[in-house]
Structure 1
């Protein structure tokens, strides 16, 4: 079987990345919806990442802030919600039902059980009481349209109730009903994050009732989500797929079989692509440069990253928890990092010089100016800071 698999080498994988991830100039998109639809999911843990990831891929970056805000908070064509690996992402609205059924339901069950267990240990009210508070809070949110937790507590004062978590432990803390309950409701797909209180970099969000969506079969939803992602990111190995989805390996294999995924040979072993995608790329791409933000979905797209990110660069570009910081790309690989200084300058540094000549440096500088042009006076500090980003931003 292995001998029959077509080999897809690093050069071809980088071409696929350039075009399908919309990072090469000719592949850039016209709207945030087009970007999110192509990438399947934009990391949303750091609010600024969403905008920076979109801006790096828009043909007209000046549209980044107004059009992304419109898509998220006016048209609701994009939704910020919990997804794979219990992480906050921004998805196209038409994917919310698929994400909820494929990854959210199992996590939601664990989250609610953990909340009730923690409350019981602390002698807090029981599940019936919590259900009352939940229904009252959701009704208040529906009336208001959008609200902060503090605003909801004006309508439902029991949201202010507190209890001691892990009493007597080194990590003892005081938990508030509103914080834990809204988190659970978010994972359950009942509420989503609304418009922030501040600018596009703010992490203080209002909440809103989640858009209605059909309840889907979990296995069917997993097949649908994996097929969408593999069409953009294939070839990917089982390890990549298990890591990205957060599923068990049996679920990954079931979904691969359901979509008729095809095995191909990659340097890491066996990879998979969607049916009909085993042939060579018909399109070519000229060398390209990009400045991608921390937690960018391309930089974080695969668990096995050696084909686009040399292991020796990782200590400077990742934090201690495995979160990637801002990266500089040249022709399909990470060659350095960047940061914004207090005066707004975009500072960057090459960590890889092999094959990175004058053309590359000129293209990277052009991208840095492009980024500075649309970010303007806004100051962006990544939530997860890396050694190189800290040094460059000083």
Structure 2
């Protein structure tokens, strides 16, 4: 399989077609492609763009631009051509035939980055499945390395046989991976079910890649996971526990970063991981306020949340990196949001308070009196509810507790019954 990371660095030319986008959106999209190439250890030595009403069916860009490309390839000693779009198998084959240079589209570039960065067994399997799903329809168009056609017109020569053999091997390997992933997914579902039984409130962090999700998780939970100023620094989901200002314990899950036009093969492969969102009680949608294209990033993430059937889960938008905010940044005040720097302790406390306030919207109020010997229930109240008042009454030797609890939990049911009984 082709990859952009055979050597430590490769010279890369970027190619983009501006169809309906305005100049600024197209420029930002090309900048993002450059960042993706740099993340994949490539060096951009040239860029070729063209305005068209529609792409050229055979080579994506027009004949004149292909001629320009051939000159650039000679001048700049280019190893790889990267297109800012997903190409058809015939387009990859035709451009490779004309240029005799490795051709990579945006989808394969992202897949290569995921392959470099996957650490867990599940992550590696998911990426391999996505890569094979991408490769299968493109086997005949992968260039000379996989072009084994032979035998003449009208005959099934050895090339055809080899191609079919490759396809059978890939399909067999895909079936093996799916079988292995089923076991991993089963384990994840059992773990998720156990968390539900423990009735711990779950918050999932979502957002565009490099928005600062891992940094926020690390600062809130006071742990160390990978933080890098690179695209897709986090692939493997991480879950950690932290305390809200009231003392209530909350589980916080980091998720893979989203990106515009995230390959469908990746969304499908990572669906089990992304389903962490569906089991969450709340989403922290992190937006990088220092990025000029933050509005488009926010829309991209919301679209993917909707595709994952998670749009009904309460959301808090967290505008991060506010200390470096873009001059044209203006927050969306139509939804619950907060502006923070993940490195500012006061901002982190404000974020915890905002999470607690948002959480209380899903909860019901309770008021109970607990005896001194009801330590187990008191401990549960401290860890699993938002306590607003806790006083020891000397006269009746009881704790007087007021707070908020998730009503659809066993503890919520117990406290609701106690509240009703005590009011009588």
Same fold flag (TM > 0.5):
no
Q: Structure with the greater relative contact order (CA < 8 A, sep ≥ 6): 1 or 2?
A: 1
Query: Rg larger in 1 or in 2?
Result: 2
Report TM bin, short chain.
under 0.3
Tell me the TM-score normalized by structure 2.
0.22
